[in-house]
Structure formats: structure tokens, C-alpha cells
Amino acid sequence: MADQSRQETFSGTKDVAETHRFDEKRLFDYLSEHIDGFDGPMDVRQFKGGQSNPTYQLITPGRKYVLRRKPPGKLLKSAHAVDREYRIIKALNNTDFPVPKAYILCEDEEIIGTVFYVMECVEGRVIWDLLIPGVTNDHRAAIYDAMNETLAKLHTTNYSALGLDDFGKPGNYFARQIGRWSKQYTLSESQEIAEMNRLIEWLPENIPANEEVSIVHGDYRLDNMVIHPTEPRVIAVLDWELCTLGHPLADFSYHIAQWRMPKAMFMGMIGHDIEALGIPSEAEYTRAYCERTGRDEIEHMDFYMAYNIFRLACILQGIVGRVRDGTASSAHAEQNALIVKPLAELAMSFARRVDA
């Protein structure tokens, strides 16, 4: 899917999909009781973007809200953890890190059928095109710098001071993540891909021996944030489903994988003249992150790339599995099946560079 069509396809809201409908009156009654100032009438729309947790816009005369819920139906264990999303957003509300205000978590599945939470609807730009059309080069470069600064700020946030010491298990982050995603890939597998099988064996044997711990977002990318309507700054980071305590370089290398991927593959930059657009090179972007986080350099980048592109393939295969099981929340989820094998091949190419 071309970047421009992504912008057109995923921006804005739509009527609520039939499979994601719920008792709106029951929700309204619950929120009226539990959120100060919540008053009707209430109109419910569903956001077009997102392929994991169904996300809704609740429109009232006073303000707009966003509701995130687990999808209905058969789910993989530990997936769709909206309660964890709520907890990290609520904790970060006590800092100046840009997240929406979290209002309430509802674990009573009788209200709308699944666990959900409600947060502030932050008005701004959600940009689905990495090339950020329609702005000047200086504005585009400033947005990239703001993304870089925001991620560095997350990785240097004192999670202990926010009461998040138990938000993730200490140590062995890569080993645990590789095990988790390998298992979820196997459960969602719809075709045999030799490269994925090889990566499942290779990755645990080649983990670098350097332990660091920070808050990691898990899916940090341009379309998972809100940019100010006119200014080049991040005003809200969204989609915290994969957030945990983990290795910050796993998070950063996932974010910059787009510089290592061809433009035909999941919004990659290879093949675009990014210099002519004012977008920093991978080296420039990495240097800015290192300066902000007190690093001299980043070693083992080929391993991190192999791991993250493997992980991305697992995530997309999981969406394919949810299409099979009838729980995917995007009309375009089936297209991900075509991307899994090329991603596995690309991840394996980075593994071979480690072995070389």
C-alpha cells in the first residue's frame, strides 16, 4: 500500500464495524457515573487506523474522548493488554511526557463485552506518510527531531519514581521477547517460512551481553503519535499496547528500522531521496539519540535489526491469524500476509551480517 493511500485509508473515523458494536446506552450510563463532567448526547465513531485494539471516538457536546478496548473473540494470551496501556498512560500523566489524559479503566466485561479504558482525545495531526508531504523541509526535519527527542525522553524517564518497578521483569529482555514472539508466531502461523524457523533458532544464540532497562514503548513510529496541528512537535504518543520495561536499544532500533527497509515494504525509506526532503540520515538520527541519552555509539545494530524485523513479522503474522480467527479490527489486515515472508528474508540478511 502506497504511503499516500495509507494516509487516505487510515485517517479519521468511520461508522462502527458490525463486529465491534456494543450497547452504547450502557456505556453512556457507566461513563456518566464514573467520569466527572461526562454528559450527553454521545455519538460513537470508530477510528479507521489500528489493527489490534478497536479504538473509538466518543463525541459529546462538551468534549471528545477516545475508548480503547480488547477485541471480542479468541485472543492470544497476553495480547491486547489495554489494562497495561492504561497504567503506563496514567503513570506518565504525572510527568511532562506527552500522553493523553487517562480517565478510567473498566475491567467489568459486562459493560461493552471486553475490558476497556477511556482517555482524552488529543486534537492534532496523525501522519501516516513517513515523507510528511505538504510541509517545508525545515518543518519536516523538525518533526523528525521532535520524534527523536520524545523517544530519548521516554528512555531516560525514571520509571521507579512512577511506581513502575513491577511493570516488566528485570533482565533477559531479548531472550524473553524472542521466546514470546516465537510462540505467538507459531500459534498464528498460516504458511511455513524457512527464514522464520531459522530466526527462531538463531536469535536466542546471538543476544549481545549488555543489559539496560528503561520504559520501552514497543511500537514507536510516526503514525502512533499526534503532532501539533501547526507546530512541529509531538503532543501525544499513542498505542502503548506493547509497552513494558525493557532494553531501550530494542525500542530505538525498531524505530529506525524504517531507514533499513525498502519503500515497498512496510513504509521503508530505501528508494526515497530523504536528503532532498530534509529527513535526517540514519547516522544523523542515531547520533542525535545518542547525544540525548548519553551514549557514544550503538553497537550490535545488525542483531537489533534482525530481532526487530523478525518481531515485526511476528506482529503482522499475528494480525493474519486474527483475520483467520475473525478478531482482526482492520479491513486491511489480510494484506499483512504478503509482507511476512519478505520481512523474514530481510531479518535473516541482518543475521548473516552478524555471522560474517
Closest CA to 126 of 248, 10, 42: 10
Q: Angle at Cα 265 formed by Cα 259 and Cα 268, nearest 5°? A: 20
pLDDT recorded at residue 3: 46
Q: What is the pLDDT of residue 345?
A: 95
CA distance 214 to 212: 7
Place of cell 533482565: 171
What was the pLDDT predicted at 190?
80
The greatest distance separating any two alpha carbons of the chain, rounded to the nearest whole angstrom, comes to: 63
Please list the pLDDT of the chain residue by residue as tens digits (356 residues): 444 466 766 678 899 989 899 999 999 999 999 999 999 999 999 998 655 789 999 999 999 999 999 887 554 455 568 999 999 999 999 999 999 999 999 999 999 999 999 999 999 999 999 999 999 999 999 999 999 999 999 999 999 999 999 999 878 899 999 999 999 999 888 888 999 999 999 999 999 988 899 999 999 999 999 999 999 999 999 999 999 999 999 999 999 999 999 987 767 899 999 999 999 999 999 999 999 999 999 999 999 999 999 999 998 888 776 666 665 555 555 666 678 899 999 999 999 999 87
pLDDT of amino acid 271: 93
State how beta strands 116-120 and 102-106 pair: antiparallel
Rounded Cα gap, residues 217 and 244, in angstroms: 7
Buried residues in 41-80 as b, exposed as e (16+ CB within 10 A): ebebbbbbbbbbbbbbbbbbeeeebbbbbbbbeeebeebb
332: helix, coil or strand?
A: coil
Q: What is the pLDDT of residue 283?
A: 97
3-state class (DSSP) for residue 5: helix
- What does pTM read for this prediction? 0.90
- Predicted confidence at residue 130, as pLDDT, reads 94
Domain with CATH 3.90.1200.10 in the chain: 137-355
pLDDT of residue 281: 97
How confident is the model at residue 1, as a pLDDT?
A: 43
What integer pLDDT is reported at residue 334 of this predicted model? 61
Q: Any bridge partners for residue 102, and if so which?
A: 119
CATH class of 13-120: alpha beta
Q: In the chain, which residues fall in CATH 3.30.200.20?
A: 13-120
d(CA 106, CA 108): 6
Q: What are phi and psi of 69, to 5 degrees?
A: -135, 160
Backbone angles phi, psi at 20, to 5 degrees: -115, 15
Pairwise CA distance, residues 166 & 317, whole Å: 29
Class of domain 137-355: alpha beta
